[in-house]
């Protein structure tokens, strides 16, 4: 009875400690110290220590000792399972070790000789294991230098404290997992930047602030990451994303408030004018310079650039969604204006953006459901008399907007990442037309199909072309592929292999729009192209414009040196033809001979002349 009363007293003291304000706000270590002190004082023992089991379960490390030893004297004692096997086993089995005489109890005998006592050896021990769920996580250990009989009240007290420690541990684990969860919900795990949700929260907080000072929201998109992924591999693409993230994060820019990753290759930044009269243009210039600097990935140097859209609070939007939408559409506008630049939001952009999204989905639909068509433009012999081949040119008859020229919808297809699908669609349609002309016994010269940069960088392009040729029973020699000069710049093994595989199928390769880019002669020599097409901008003013004459002559000279055939594009009159023929141009293409036409008209032309 008396023991029960004593225990009630202990229990009350423990409850008071746990609920005291001093205790609840403390660190875990302080809490353990308070618990061991309480235990020592209530039970009047010489030492109380709390130990933690190492993760592998082989050691117990002393965390806390009562009475408190100054830190420099507490050298963090450690007990090993090997030396105290019986003791560890008892704890594993959840036994309360109640040893009146340490030297004779089999579980504590090992301590008799080897134990961290300062003066007199320990005579009695009362140890209670601490469990976290099913796992032993530590022990609370009471020691007396005199022999002591442990009563039920002592045991009840020490187990209550062991259970309390176990609860503290569980609570701590819960707190840290909540912190982790909090981190995951607010950060992007690939770059460590804040995520879209955090950006939204941050903007919301800014808007709710009484002062409502203005700020800018910048929306970044890495240009052509798709092409980088396809051409140089996913790893390089990933490296580019994480490097851009690091640059944006590390950039020293007064007024930069937060940076977030808001999509695969999209980032956002909140910028607040650091001082009255600071121009946004300067900040934008710094940002573009920082992002556009080439990135080194292993041996390779990747030229990156970003397009940026900017909207202002409160001018361009007074709520989070509007602001985000407007800076994103400004970014699309920057892309449409040629990428690698920043554009500010304005009302016009919003209207174009809406139209764009609609058009984009209609174009996706047109590619998927044969809503496009292909026109053929004949390519003539040097004297303009015979059709030697043809170029396939895509056409789109839009439901409401009528005929749309490629100049209008191809940039959109590029931006929306649809261009490679479009190219394949054209290739497929051309192969089908070739097959049908053969089945009808009609002649069909080789047909040239245009390939975009995205297509030519696709490592699977050769397989896809081969598959299409097979399905329509078309020989490689019936096909030519045109690639614009800019698409083949940069040094990529993938590109070289693709070109070589295409040539092995018997396909001829041409460089399109030659003269508009910056191809080095040496590169051209090393790649398996057999034709150059001189861009029509150089042909237009022949033979009157001396500059164009000089350029065309130098292209012709260079091509003959490299053993390449030359096609002049956009030939519209007899003067141009005469001059080109005289200078040794191999083929001519232009309205002087024929405009692009549907397959039926082209077949009729071939049959009837």
CB of 478 to ligand C2E, least distance (A): 17
Distance CA(608)–CA(398), nearest Å, equals 32
Residue nearest to ligand C2E (CB): 590
Contacted entry of ligand C2E, Ca ion, none for residue 590, CB cut-off 5 to 8 Å set by kind: ligand C2E
Residue list 384-403, contact with ligand C2E (CB under 6 A)? 393-394
Per-residue x/- mask for ligand C2E, residues 422 to 461, rule CB under 6 A? -x--x-----------------------xxx---------
Could you say whether residue 464 binds ligand C2E (CB under 6 A)? no
Distance CA(223)–CA(267), nearest Å, equals 12
Count other Cβ atoms within 10 Å, centred on residue 485.
19
> Pick from 298, 323, 339: which is nearest to 216 by CA?
323
Q: Where are the beta strands (DSSP E) in 474-564?
A: 479-484, 508-514, 531-534
Tokens of 252: 């020293």
CB of 443 to ligand C2E, least distance (A): 22
CB of 514 to ligand C2E, least distance (A): 10
Tell me whether residue 187 or residue 395 sits nearer to ligand C2E (CB atom). 395
User: Is-contact 340 292, C-beta < 8 A?
Assistant: yes
Could you say whether residue 588 binds ligand C2E (CB under 6 A)? no
Residues 6+ apart with CB under 8 A from 255: 271, 272, 273, 274, 278, 283
Could you say whether residue 570 binds ligand C2E (CB under 6 A)? yes
Tokens of 595: 């405009």
Interface pick for ligand C2E out of 75, 405, 554, 582 (rule CB under 6 A):
405
CB of 558 to Ca ion, least distance (A): 18
Per-residue x/- mask for Ca ion, residues 443 to 482, rule CB under 5 A? -------x-------------------------------x
Per-residue x/- mask for Ca ion, residues 476 to 515, rule CB under 5 A? ------x-----------------------------xx--
CB of 430 to ligand C2E, least distance (A): 9
In which residue are the tokens 């192969």 written?
A: 431
CB of 552 to ligand C2E, least distance (A): 15
Distance CA(193)–CA(261), nearest Å, equals 6
Distance CA(225)–CA(607), nearest Å, equals 46
CB of 482 to ligand C2E, least distance (A): 6
Determine the angle formed by the axes of helices 406-415 and 347-368, rounding to 10 degrees.
90
How many residues sit in the footprint of ligand C2E (CB under 6 A)? 24
DSSP string, 388-415: EEEEEEEEEEETTTEEE-HHHHHHHHHH
Tokens of 156: 């009840």
CB of 406 to ligand C2E, least distance (A): 4
Tell me whether residue 519 or residue 589 sits nearer to ligand C2E (CB atom). 589
Distance CA(498)–CA(509), nearest Å, equals 11
User: Is-contact 452 427, C-beta < 8 A?
Assistant: no
CB of 591 to ligand C2E, least distance (A): 3
In which residue are the tokens 């980088």 written?
A: 228
Tell me whether residue 283 or residue 394 sits nearer to ligand C2E (CB atom). 394
DSSP-assigned beta bridge partners for residue 300: 297
Per-residue x/- mask for Ca ion, residues 535 to 574, rule CB under 5 A? ----------------------------------x-----
Residue 266 phi, psi dihedral angles, 5° rounding = -120, 140
Q: Is 368 helix (H, G, I), strand (E, B) or coil?
A: helix
Strand order in the sheet with 47-53: 78-80, 59-66, 47-53, 135-144, 124-132, 97-99
Interacting residues toward ligand C2E by CB under 6 A = 377, 393-394, 405-407, 410, 419, 423, 426, 450-452, 512-513, 536, 569-572, 589-591, 596
């Amino acid at each position: 009875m008396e023991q029960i009363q004593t225990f009630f007293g202990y229990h009350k003291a423990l409850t008071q400690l746990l609920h005291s304000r001093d205790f609840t706000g403390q660190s875990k270590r302080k809490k353990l110290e308070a618990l061991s002190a309480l235990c020592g004082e209530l039970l009047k023992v010489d030492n109380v220590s709390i130990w933690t089991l190492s993760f592998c379960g082989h050691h117990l490390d002393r965390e806390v000792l009562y009475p408190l030893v100054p830190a420099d004297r507490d050298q963090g004692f450690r007990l090993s399972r090997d030396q105290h096997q019986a003791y560890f086993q008892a704890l594993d089995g959840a036994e309360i070790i109640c040893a009146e005489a340490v030297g004779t109890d089999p579980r504590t005998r090992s301590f008799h000789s080897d134990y961290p006592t300062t003066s007199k050896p320990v005579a009695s021990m009362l140890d209670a294991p601490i469990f976290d769920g099913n796992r032993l996580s530590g022990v609370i250990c009471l020691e007396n230098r005199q022999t002591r009989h442990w009563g039920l009240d002592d045991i009840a007290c020490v187990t209550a404290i062991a259970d309390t420690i176990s609860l503290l541990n569980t609570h701590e684990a819960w707190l840290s997992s909540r912190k982790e969860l909090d981190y995951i919900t607010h950060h992007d795990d690939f770059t460590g930047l804040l995520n879209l949700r955090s950006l939204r929260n941050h903007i919301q907080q800014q808007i709710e602030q009484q002062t409502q000072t203005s700020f800018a929201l910048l929306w970044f998109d890495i240009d052509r990451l798709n092409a980088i992924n396809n051409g140089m591999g996913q790893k390089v693409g990933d490296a580019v994303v994480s490097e851009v993230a690091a640059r944006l994060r590390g950039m020293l820019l007064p007024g930069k408030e937060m940076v977030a990753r808001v999509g695969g290759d999209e980032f956002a930044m909140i910028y607040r004018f650091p001082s009255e009269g600071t121009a946004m243009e300067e900040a934008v210039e710094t940002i573009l310079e920082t992002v556009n600097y080439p990135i080194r990935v292993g041996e390779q140097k990747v030229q990156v650039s970003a397009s940026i859209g900017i909207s202002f609070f409160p001018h361009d939007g007074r709520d989070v969604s509007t602001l985000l939408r407007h800076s994103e559409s400004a970014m699309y506008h920057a892309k449409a204006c040629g990428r690698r630049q920043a554009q500010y939001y304005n009302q016009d952009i919003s209207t174009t953006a809406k139209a764009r999204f609609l058009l984009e989905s209609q174009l996706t639909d047109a590619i998927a459901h044969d809503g496009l068509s292909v026109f053929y433009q004949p390519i003539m012999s040097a004297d303009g008399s015979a059709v030697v081949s043809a170029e396939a040119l895509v056409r789109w008859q839009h439901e409401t907007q009528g005929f749309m020229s490629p100049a209008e919808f191809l940039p959109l297809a590029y931006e929306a990442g649809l261009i490679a699908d479009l190219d394949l669609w054209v290739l497929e349609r051309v192969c089908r037309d070739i097959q049908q002309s053969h089945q009808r016994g009609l002649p069909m010269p080789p047909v040239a199909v245009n390939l975009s940069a995205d297509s030519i960088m696709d490592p699977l392009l050769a397989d896809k072309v081969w598959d299409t040729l097979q399905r329509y029973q078309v020989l490689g020699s019936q096909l030519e592929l045109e690639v614009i000069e800019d698409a083949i710049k940069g040094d990529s093994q993938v590109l070289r292999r693709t070109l070589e595989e295409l040539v092995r199928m018997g396909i001829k390769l041409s460089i399109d729009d030659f003269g508009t880019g910056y191809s080095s002669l040496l590169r051209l020599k090393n790649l398996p192209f057999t034709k150059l097409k001189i861009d029509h901008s150089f042909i237009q003013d022949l033979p009157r414009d001396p500059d164009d004459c000089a350029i065309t002559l130098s292209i012709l000279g260079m091509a003959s040196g490299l053993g390449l055939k030359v096609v002049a594009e956009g030939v519209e009159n007899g003067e141009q033809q005469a001059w080109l023929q005289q200078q040794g141009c191999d083929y001519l293409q232009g309205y002087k001979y024929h405009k692009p036409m549907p397959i039926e008209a082209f077949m009729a032309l071939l049959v009837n002349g």
